[in-house]
Structure 1
Amino acid sequence: MATLSGKSAFVLVLVTGVVVPGVMNYVLSVVLGQQMLGRIVWTLGFGMMIGVIWYGWLRPLDFKGPERDPEEAERKVKD
């Protein structure tokens, strides 16, 4: 079985999270006449995609700035 790279997995999750709920929304809303159920399915599917992207790719990122060397900071204050 082939493994997916990080970019490929991200694109697969993104496309699946938009296409599958969108098609289900169309089928439920237009074909079967269940507009509210179609909206619920689309919202839950899209929301789950956002959650997977956050958990898999955004949560692990470390958004800290670079740490300053205390000695360097003291030298700049003295100058």
Structure 2
Amino acid sequence: MVEFSNRAAFVLVLVSGIVIPGVLNYYASVILGQQMLGRVVWTTGYAAMILVVWYQWLRPLDFTGPEREPEEAERKVKD
């Protein structure tokens, strides 16, 4: 099996999360004449891609700032 680097996997998820639902949207809307089905397919595919990106790459990030001593924090508030 082919192993991808983290960056390559991220790009593959982004591209497939945009291209595949877009092609299916086109097929459902233009070829089949089902615009609502195309919208549902596009929305579902795009939302799934966002959830995968969040779960794999954004959720593990730690967005906390540096910790300060309590006295320093009180002094900053008073100034």
Classify the TM-score, shorter chain. 0.7 to 0.9
Q: Deviations over 1:20-48 (max 9, x none)?
A: 00000000000110100000000000000
Structure 1 Cα separation of the partners of residues 48 and 4 of structure 2:
20
- How many residue pairs end up in the alignment? 74
For structure 1, the 5+ residue unaligned runs are none
| Partner in structure 1 of residue 12 of structure 2 | 12
Structure 1 Cα separation of the partners of residues 32 and 17 of structure 2:
22
1:23 is the counterpart of 2:28: no
Which of structure 1's runs of 4+ aligned residues deviate more than 4 A?
none
What displacement does 1:2 show? 2.5
TM score, norm. by length of structure 2 = 0.85
Could you tell me which amino acid in structure 2 is paired with residue 41 of structure 1? V
What displacement does 1:67 show? 1.8
Structure 1 Cα separation of the partners of residues 65 and 48 of structure 2:
30
For structure 2, the 5+ residue unaligned runs are none
SS in 2 for 1:3: coil
